[in-house]
Amino acid sequence: MNAAHMITVANLSITTPTGRVLVRDANFGLSPGEVVVLVGPSGSGKSSIINALSGLLMADDAHWTLAGQVHLAGRDYDLSREPCNIGGLVFQNNALFDDLSAGANARITADHTGKVDPMLVDLIAQLLHDVDPNLPVSSCSGGQRQRIAIARTLLANRDVLLFDEPNSGLDKVAARRLVQLIRQMCHQMGKPALIVAHHVDDLLPLADRVFYLDSTRRRLRELPPDAAALDAALVGESSAAAEDGGGEPVAASQAWRIKPRTRWRWMLHYLAEYFWILCASPLLLGYVMLGAGIVGFVSVWFGFNYDALGDFVRSIVHDDALMGIGFIEMTVVIPLIASLLMVACNNAVVTADLGNRVLSSQFRAMSNLGIPARRYIYVAVAVNMALAGLLLTVLSEVVASFASYQTWRLIFAGQPFELWMENFYREFLRNHHTLWIHGGWTLFKVIATSTVATVTALLIGARRKESVISINHAIARSIVIGASATLTIHALVAVLQF
């Protein structure tokens, strides 16, 4: 370490949650603009070191033990006590937010960073000159996705750029072009980059220094970059690559000139996104309406046709029977069916959505970029689940009433609508007090159900996920617990209500 280092790390030790020491008393420094490659055997702890510098290890669900000090621009971090998020991390799988467009992936970071340096805006416009910002990230090529991830990390404006195996899956030329790009960015911004890599042949010629993590001794030591044999052959190709990528930006780059906007727009964005998914998706509406229609039909059809009274007595008890069917349908059966169908569908959607975000490191990326992702998504889910409970119950009552009326007309052809109306809603029409009491209970059970289902889906969905299979199990658990809670709440409230 020397005085020119802008960041110094002293006595860094990392122990995994299972008690394995990965590195002990590592000391190193990083100077402005330099590119440092970190190598070592698989599983030695390279990613853990960059996760420690980006504040992600301490935020991990599992309990890691860290020790050491980081010194940066007059500030000291004691890693055993506080997270140190000085590094912006480009994840190996890019961890792009796949529900946002390419441009929105960058904008959401810019909007959570504060003032964006105009030099950085130019740099990003060049970097993404061939990417249409309106394109979904899933439609971008692998290289474009990687550059979007880099641009997003640049916008977070951290003091050091961290890359986790950025060249994995790239061919020789693309890998060299990427390191050259990283090098150029570091020079322009005066920030160091620490790159974790397995395949270093392409990186060594452009690296300023190399750190080796010795997994036997758990020590970090500096090696001379052994680029001598590679340099001559690589310089020609990489300068060709630089020429290739350094042309005039095309028209799309104008759209990448990011103007900061208020963070509230992101809260509204997530509220609108989840409103569509949880309250207004045609599939959800169609299935809830089908359920309500069937209940409306069944209760009237079987209520009148399968009694022991016979045609004559049925017409005598008609008014009271219709009143009873209408009252139970509106206060008990329809709120239960609407809640149950809503919870089964939405708990699956929310759990799958969060599980995917956890598995693909999207939450970790957002936290590294300073985006309060959990706050946005949890609030958006909670508000829209409550709204879905209310809207779908009201919609179901309308549909069930319509189905009940049509069924009643089939049985009692020629009877006036007013007769049905007067009796079906008699309990509510004749006594406004009843309307308020039972309306209040219905509101209570719908909101209680939505709240419990939301908490269930968020807790299960946001837990650590090891694989797609664990997401599938989480979805099943979330539906079963959410539906059971719904049945229990409605049953308990029915006992209190009557």
Ligand X SMILES: Nc1ncnc2c1ncn2[C@@H]1O[C@H](COP(=O)(O)OP(=O)(O)OP(=O)(O)O)[C@@H](O)[C@H]1O
Of 5, 344, 269, nearest to 160 (Cα)? 5
CA distance 106 to 410: 59
3-class DSSP string for 459-471:
HHHHCCCCCHHHH
* Shortest Å distance, C-beta 15 to ligand X: 10
In the complex with ligand X, the residue whose CB is nearer, 48 or 331, is: 48
* Residue 218 found at the interface with ligand X (CB under 6 A): no
In the complex with ligand X, the residue whose CB is nearer, 41 or 246, is: 41
* Shortest Å distance, C-beta 496 to ligand X: 45
Chain residues 40-99 in contact with ligand X, contact rule CB under 6 A: 40, 42-48, 62
CA distance 170 to 178: 9
In the complex with ligand X, the residue whose CB is nearer, 131 or 213, is: 213
State residue 211 phi and psi, 5-degree precision.
-105, 140
In the complex with ligand X, the residue whose CB is nearer, 2 or 42, is: 42
* Shortest Å distance, C-beta 47 to ligand X: 3
* Structure token digits, residue 223: 């090696």
* Shortest Å distance, C-beta 164 to ligand X: 7
Choose the binding region for ligand X from 38-46, 153-161, 228-236, 319-327 (rule: CB under 6 A): 38-46
- With 0-12 CB in 10 A as exposed, 13-18 as middle and 19+ as buried, what is 212? middle
Number of residues that bind ligand X (CB under 6 A): 14
The β-bridge partners of 67 are 13
Choose the binding region for ligand X from 37-45, 107-115, 225-233, 235-243 (rule: CB under 6 A): 37-45
In the complex with ligand X, the residue whose CB is nearer, 93 or 434, is: 93
Chain residues 286-305 in contact with ligand X, contact rule CB under 6 A: none
Q: What is the DSSP string of 19-42?
A: S-EEEEEEEEEE-TT-EEEEE-ST
* Shortest Å distance, C-beta 194 to ligand X: 12
Q: What is the DSSP letter of 329?
A: I
* Shortest Å distance, C-beta 469 to ligand X: 18
CA distance 91 to 84: 17
Binding mask 164-203 for ligand X (x = CB under 6 A): ----------------------------------x-----
* Single residue of 18, 216, 262, 467 touching ligand X by CB under 6 A: 18
Choose the binding region for ligand X from 11-19, 145-153, 357-365, 436-444 (rule: CB under 6 A): 11-19
CA distance 110 to 98: 17
* Shortest Å distance, C-beta 39 to ligand X: 9
Choose the binding region for ligand X from 12-20, 67-75, 317-325, 421-429 (rule: CB under 6 A): 12-20
* Residue 246 found at the interface with ligand X (CB under 6 A): no
Choose the binding region for ligand X from 13-21, 132-140, 317-325, 367-375 (rule: CB under 6 A): 13-21
Task: Kindly list the strands in the beta sheet with 87-90, ordered across the sheet, starting from the edge strand earlier in the chain.
Answer: 87-90, 160-164, 193-196, 35-39, 209-214, 219-223
Q: Please give the biggest Cα pair distance in the chain.
A: 104
> How many whole angstroms from its chain centre is CA 154?
21
* Single residue of 6, 7, 22, 349 touching ligand X by CB under 6 A: 22
Q: What is the DSSP string of 422-469?
A: HHHTHHHHS-HHHHHHHHHHHHHHHHHHHHHHHHHHHHHHHS---SHH
In the complex with ligand X, the residue whose CB is nearer, 19 or 310, is: 19
In the complex with ligand X, the residue whose CB is nearer, 44 or 94, is: 44
* Beta carbons within 8 Å of 319's beta carbon, 6+ residues apart: 423, 426
Of 165, 203, 218, 280, nearest to 44 (Cα)? 218
CA distance 314 to 436: 31
Question: Per this entry, what is the length of the chain?
Answer: 498
CA distance 390 to 442: 9
* Shortest Å distance, C-beta 207 to ligand X: 17
* Structure token digits, residue 363: 């939450």
In the complex with ligand X, the residue whose CB is nearer, 62 or 495, is: 62
* Single residue of 8, 16, 281, 356 touching ligand X by CB under 6 A: 16
* Shortest Å distance, C-beta 465 to ligand X: 12
* Shortest Å distance, C-beta 56 to ligand X: 11
* Residue 17 found at the interface with ligand X (CB under 6 A): yes
The β-bridge partners of 89 are 162
In the complex with ligand X, the residue whose CB is nearer, 213 or 336, is: 213
* Shortest Å distance, C-beta 132 to ligand X: 33
Choose the binding region for ligand X from 39-47, 177-185, 263-271, 337-345 (rule: CB under 6 A): 39-47
* Shortest Å distance, C-beta 60 to ligand X: 6
In the complex with ligand X, the residue whose CB is nearer, 63 or 432, is: 63
* Shortest Å distance, C-beta 40 to ligand X: 6
C-alpha torsion 420→424→428→431, nearest 10 = 70
Interface with ligand X by CB under 6 A: which residues? 16-18, 22, 40, 42-48, 62, 198
